[in-house]
Amino acid sequence: MPHPISTLGAFHTVFSLVPLAAGLYSFIRYRAIEPGTRSGQLYLVSMLVAVLTSFGLSSTGGFNAGHALGILALLVIGGSLLIRQLPLFPRLVPYLSQFGFSFSFFLLLVPAIGETLTRLPVGHPLATGPESPLVRGTVLVWLAIFVVGSALQMWWMRSQRKR
């Protein structure tokens, strides 16, 4: 039987859809998460709130891998914002910054995949836990999508730079 969801868990789950939607919109519209756009700003703020609300949740009773991924995502976002301010390697900055934002989006969905597959459908979840072959396989597919998507994003950025 799946773990019951608390009020904070429900809020976190619903609110975590905001960075997902803002990130997807940004990728479709701009092919990147740009902090200067409204969707980019919404992504960054809602990602922070989603990660912070996750700290009040734990199906294991303490600090877990999802919390660690959330911290990593915030560190990556911070680095992606900071690198834009540094004069080092000016030609690489846009690529490194965008890779970081894309990586944070990837990290957003890793715990979501596990939580979704171990909770839905209610009463008969598709997976038994994070070690389940279905969860691992889905995360592997998500990793492949991230790698291919990042390569395409870098190629597109390079083609725009040449224009």
Decide which of 162 and 15 is more confident: 15
Domain layout of the chain by residue ranges: 7-162
- 21-62 pLDDT, tens digit per residue, is 999 999 999 999 999 999 999 999 999 999 998 887 766 667
pLDDT at 60: 65
pTM score:
0.88
Give yes or no for residue 141 having a pLDDT over 70. Answer: yes
pLDDT at 121: 85
pLDDT at 26: 96
Decide which of 2 and 20 is more confident: 20
- 77-135 pLDDT, tens digit per residue, is 999 999 998 878 888 999 999 999 999 999 999 999 988 898 888 888 888 888 899 99
**Which stretches of the chain are assigned E, i.e. beta strand?**
none
1 falls in which pLDDT band (50, 70, 90)?
very low
Closest CA to 109 of 84, 79, 81, 144: 144
12 Cβ contact partners less than 8 Å away, ≥ 6 residues apart: 50, 53, 54, 56, 57
Give yes or no for residue 66 having a pLDDT over 90. Answer: no
